[in-house]
A and B are shown apart, each in its own frame.
Chain A
Amino acid sequence: MRRLLTIVGTRATNFDPERPYRLHRQAELRDEDFGALAYHFGTRRLSFLKAPILVDVVRALQDSASVHEAFERCAVPRPQRPALLQALAGLAASQMIELREGAES
């Protein structure tokens, strides 16, 4: 499987695709031909989102009640989802995405 993400400083985290996430408040995305470059102003770290579909999903998180819902919004084909989940777990571990606390009912 092609790796979709190259990230920095992963650490153990409890990434749960049933819960609501968003791009971290201190992070920004910059579109590039290969996908996007994410920069976290707090950790001063960069991540490279190496697939446009991953970028779409990250952007859709904000308005989705769960990661699965973001997949639906972006019409991610099922066979691609495991790879995307792995990439999103990496982004959560490096704080590029964060839980939307209080957004859960």
Chain B
Amino acid sequence: MTSAEVLPAAEAPGIQLDSRPTKLVDHFALGLNAPICLTWELTYACNLACVHCLSSSGRRDPRELTTAECKAVIDEFERMQVFYINIGGGEPTVRPDFWELLDYSIDHHVCVKFSSNGIKLDAAAARRLAATDYVDVQISVDGASADVNDEVRGSGSFGTAIRAMENLAAAGFTGFKVSVVVTRQNAGQLDEFKAIADRYGAQLRLTRLRPSGRGADVWGEMHPTAQQQRELYQWLVANGEGVLTGDSFFHLSGLGDPLPGLNLCGAGRVVCLIDPIGDIYACPFAIHDEFLAGNVRSPGGFQTVWRESDLFASLRKPDGGGTCSSCSMFDACRGGCMAAKFFTGLPLDGPDPECVQGYGEAALAAVAAGSVPKPTGDHSHLGQVRGQPLGPVPIALVTRRPDRSCDEDPLAGFTAR
């Protein structure tokens, strides 16, 4: 028996599947009547400006779905029997109608797990959540200490997250999730993360850093080294079912026994993303026109897009495996993560950039400069982020040359005589 969640970011709490390829997995590859792991980002607005934000969040989009439109989407979930959804953002709790939508969803038989940095989870909110059935909460931290966390998520964000955890624990909300993106900077803190989760009666959830959104800018400096990946794999094996992963480390399965989970890219098959303006993407890590299947506002709504979009149909076709198909590890990793490949400029039918066989590094070296696709949208804060020190986010990971000299100084190259 294995315990597993079915997929990135979005997880199916406690789904258990055979880790071996089975007929069932083949059915999944062909798509289901409704997604198992649906992530719905309610807003691009966020009080933070995490350097690796997968959705480049910060500012609210004026085209955001209205409360009524959100309720219509929930009605559709109920009709389609989407049993639960993963709500994220942005910071979803900053939407003034967040609690109304949460209640509406639960009242319509759609369970909710939402991700938060904890900003709105005071004692009263924690009590309210503890008293609500069918809701789960996921608090994000990316360091087990304030110094490591705040470098990435912003000044004070560790304290905010810990306060939210204290409030949830004090309210009697057990089993909430502590969600961590594993990075080069925090990979040595796995035991400390586990200790934090244990301290608050929560469950640790580790997920993979993808080069999505602003993550593309920092992925090179933040993704774990090959040695860290091996240690992470061993740590996950040792901790087994006690730690959730959203099935996000299946690219490491070639290191030994498969990790619990589907070990299959679920994009468009069992997973999808609805973004704040209703756009439907194949996966939460693939916010790019290439993976845009449609919009919930279009005639036929979400159901028509899920069942009939050309993009999803093509993702559900059997996948030959491309250049990976001759690799002895192919059955274990299935070529890895589509989004990780796409946003590092690698071909989708080749190795994952973090391929455990090392094929990814070689492939990355061959990517032509300037050929890496950029995310389609960017809702990053334009100026100072409230509560944060003036100036750029206090992590300096990227030094880019201006594309053209005039980007730097309108008078560059001009010599006054």
| Chain A residues close to B by CB (< 8 Å) | 2-3, 6-10, 28, 30-34, 37, 39, 41, 43-46, 48, 50
Q: Are B34 and A30 in contact (CB under 8 A)?
A: yes
Which of the residues A9, A33, A41 comes within 8 Å of B109, measured between beta carbons? A41
Kindly identify which residue among A7, A10, A34, A46 contacts B36, using a CB–CB cutoff of 8 Å.
Answer: A46
Complex alpha-carbon distance, A48 and B12, angstroms? 13
**Are A44 and B1 closer than 8 Å at their CB atoms?**
no
Name the A residues within 8 Å of B33 (CB-CB).
Answer: 30-33
Q: Quick check: B12 and A46 within 8 Å, CB to CB? A: yes
Q: Are B14 and A43 in contact (CB under 8 A)?
A: yes
- Work out how many contacts link A and B, with CB atoms closer than 8 A: 66
Q: List 28 A-B contacts (CB under 8 A).
A: A3-B22, A6-B18, A6-B22, A8-B1, A9-B16, A28-B81, A28-B109, A30-B34, A30-B81, A30-B83, A31-B33, A32-B27, A33-B27, A34-B24, A37-B32, A37-B36, A39-B83, A41-B109, A41-B133, A43-B14, A44-B13, A44-B136, A45-B13, A45-B14, A46-B12, A46-B15, A46-B83, A48-B24
Interface bits B82-96 vs A (CB < 8 Å: 1, else 0): 011000000000000
Chain B stretch 1-46: residues in CB contact (< 8 A) with chain A: 1, 3, 12-18, 22-24, 27, 30, 32-34, 36
- The reply to whether the CB of B134 lies closer than 8 angstroms to some CB of chain A is yes
Bound Cα distance from A10 to B353, whole angstroms: 37
Contact between chains at B111 and A34 (CB < 8 Å): no
- Report the bound CA distance from A66 to B148 in whole Å: 59
Name 4 extra pairs, CB < 8 A, besides A6-B16, A44-B13: A8-B1, A9-B1, A41-B83, A41-B109
A6 to B12, CA, bound (A): 15
CB distance from B229 to the nearest CB of A (A): 28
The one of A2, A10, A31, A44 that contacts B84, using a Cβ cutoff of 8 Å? A44
